[in-house]
Homo-oligomer: A and B are copies of this chain.
């Protein structure tokens, strides 16, 4: 839960407002979010498949991150009314069009990582 009146919260909100980058970060910044979005890039995926393919994530975290992404309009939740339950997650258009951004991030990240690891050897 966020405390509305905290300096922390106020600062974050202001940065989000005046800087597109900070805004983007506030949406994809959660620990498991890039991974989740990646997994969904090729189409909808079932909850249990997400859970099983993302090693290290707990159900608590997975559900939380999914809910936040849903609230931010990045993905939708598709409930099939059956028992046992079946729920699928699918990127929205706004989620899909993160692709160029994510790929730039990945590109920069991988370059920097490679370079840094090389420098360590020197």
Q: What is A's interface to B at a CB cutoff of 8 Å?
A: 7, 10-12, 14-15, 19-25, 27-29, 31-32, 34-35, 38, 55-56, 73, 94, 97-98, 100-102, 104-113, 115-116
Which residue of B is nearest A30, CB measured? B25
Are B24's CB and A105's CB within 8 A? yes
Q: A14-B56, A15-B35, A31-B15 are in contact. Are A20 and B107 (CB under 8 A)?
A: yes
Selected A-B contacts with CB under 8 Å, 24 pairs: A11-B31, A14-B55, A15-B31, A15-B35, A15-B56, A20-B113, A21-B28, A21-B109, A22-B35, A22-B109, A23-B110, A23-B113, A24-B106, A24-B108, A24-B109, A25-B28, A27-B109, A27-B112, A29-B29, A98-B108, A100-B104, A101-B105, A101-B107, A104-B104
